[in-house]
Structure 1
């Protein structure tokens, strides 16, 4: 689950700036991630991501949308959910931080500073918290828009 409208991580600063200027972008920094996705998908695993975004979308989200083809080519499934289309009553668990759910039993919660830079991750195995996130993931996945159909 991704909740933020900007992820200014150092590895992406130069490619993002190049994209903003309409220049050639070197996406080689994504190779470790896409290789991991191919390996996981090859092992029969599923990797899905919901990106909750504010509309109109930020330049960063527009760039992220443009690069998502690389994630999907590697086997990741990505859907987009405009924030104004969140189902009524949805709350953001884990203090609104992004999280990854592994095998329906473990969460990796990302922590960011006030400028969106990564501070590290926390592992959460509490069954009630994990169950809450599984329910939310399933609920939002069902209403989110597949990448090919979403136009920021």
Structure 2
């Protein structure tokens, strides 16, 4: 596997032709750029500034404008962690940029049918497993084109995406 960081990772989205799919299976992340906005959320301060997310939103918009689907499925524990509740609030920014986000309550899927790691699937031909530093900072993606791993991730993607609920619907239904 090859570790891709920063611009090299972003270029995976820029070079995708059909789809970039992200599976998230953790209930909490602790990336430094999210520290202040998350703390504000916990303190009841309404979000007004999403500049910390602008680079990602621009990349999503650039990618979806080319006709590439950017999709994300979050497998979450119910009751939700504070972090998940925050993401439910923040994700309308992602949706406005063109990203499709779905949620699946963890109790609605057999854990044996999931992966334990987060990953990105690009065009059904490569997978980048998300790499975090011990302090929670995002490092990049460990890329593989191994056809067996890619095929497995395609199966997991299809299973989770089919069972998951769109962000807007999940908000109206509440946690199930």
What's the TM-score once normalised by structure 1's chain length? 0.91
Higher relative contact order (CA 8 A, sep 6+): 2
Q: Which moved more, 1:19-28 or 1:49-58?
A: 19-28
Q: Does 1:11 align with 2:33?
A: yes
Q: Which residue of 2 aligns with 1:116?
A: 136
Equivalent residue number for residue 153 of structure 2: 133
**1:107-148 deviation digits (Å, cap 9, x = unpaired):** 111123455333432111100100100111011100101111
Displacement after TM superposition at 1:64 (Å): 0.5
Tell me the CA shift for residue 27 of structure 1.
1.1
Residue aligning to 1:44: 67
**Correspondence 1:83 to 2:103:** no
Q: Distance in 2 between matches of 1:134 and 1:144?
A: 15
Alpha-carbon distance between aligned partners in 2 of 1:11 and 1:42, rounded to the nearest angstrom? 26
Displaced runs of 4 or more, over 6 A = none
1:142 counterpart (162, 170, 176)? 162
C-alpha contact 1:6 1:116 (8 A) present in aligned 2 = no
Query: Over aligned residues, Cα RMSD in angstroms?
Result: 1.5
- 1:77-111 alpha-carbon deviations (Å, 9 max, x no partner): 0000000001475142xxx1100111111111112
Which shows bigger deviation, 38-47 or 83-92? 83-92
Return 5+ residue gaps in structure 2 as ranges.
Answer: 1-22
Residue matched to 1:61: 84
CA contact (8 A) 1:113 1:119 kept: yes
Q: What's the TM-score once normalised by structure 2's chain length?
A: 0.79
Please, which of 6, 24, 29 is the counterpart of residue 52 of structure 2? 29
Secondary structure at the aligned position of 2:98 is classed as coil
CA distance in 2, matches of 1:30, 1:117: 15
Give 1:44 deviation, angstroms: 0.5
Q: Provide the rounded CA distance (Å) in 1 between the counterparts of 2:111 and 2:67.
A: 34
